[in-house]
Amino acid sequence: MLFHTSCKSKERLVGKTVIITGANTGIGKETARDLYRRGARVILACRDVQKADATAKEVKSNPPSQPNKEQFQGEPGEVLVYQLDLCSLASVRNCAKDIYKKESAVNILINNAGMVIESFGKTEDGFETQLQTNYLGHFLFTLLLLPKIRASGPGCRIINVSSLAHHYGDIHFDDLNLENSYTMKEAYCQSKLANVLFTVELTRRLKEANIDGITTYSVHPGMVKTDISRNIHSYLLRIMQVVLTPFAPLFVKTSEQGAQTTIYCAVAQECSKESGLYYKDCAVANLTNKVNDTELIAKLWNETMKMVRLEQENNLEELLKKIEKNVLQSVDDTLKNSEKVIPPSNI
Instruction: Give the catalytic positions in this structure.
Output: 188
Q: How many helices (H) and strands (E) does the chain have?
A: 12, 8
CB-side exposure of 111: number of CA atoms within 13 Å?
34
CA–CA dist 245, 80 (Å, integer): 35
Type and span of the H or E element at 187: helix 184-208
Which residues share a beta bridge with 42? Answer: 18, 79
Cα of first residue to Cα of last residue in the chain, in angstroms, is 74
**8 Å CB contact between 221 and 279:** no
- 284 CB neighbour count, 10 Å cutoff: 12
In Å, the largest CA–CA distance within the chain is: 78
> What does the buried/exposed string (b/e) look like for 306-341 if buried means 16 or more CB atoms within 10 Å of the residue's CB?
ebbebeeeeebeebbeebbeebeebbeeeeeeeeee
Cα-based distances in Å from 255 to 50, 229, 295, 326:
21, 14, 37, 38
Cα-based distances in Å from 301 to 44, 135, 204, 212, 314:
27, 11, 12, 21, 10
**8 Å CB contact between 17 and 41:** yes
Dihedral sign of CA atoms 160, 165, 170, 172 in order: negative
CA–CA dist 86, 138 (Å, integer): 7
- Which amino acid, one-letter code, is at 263? I
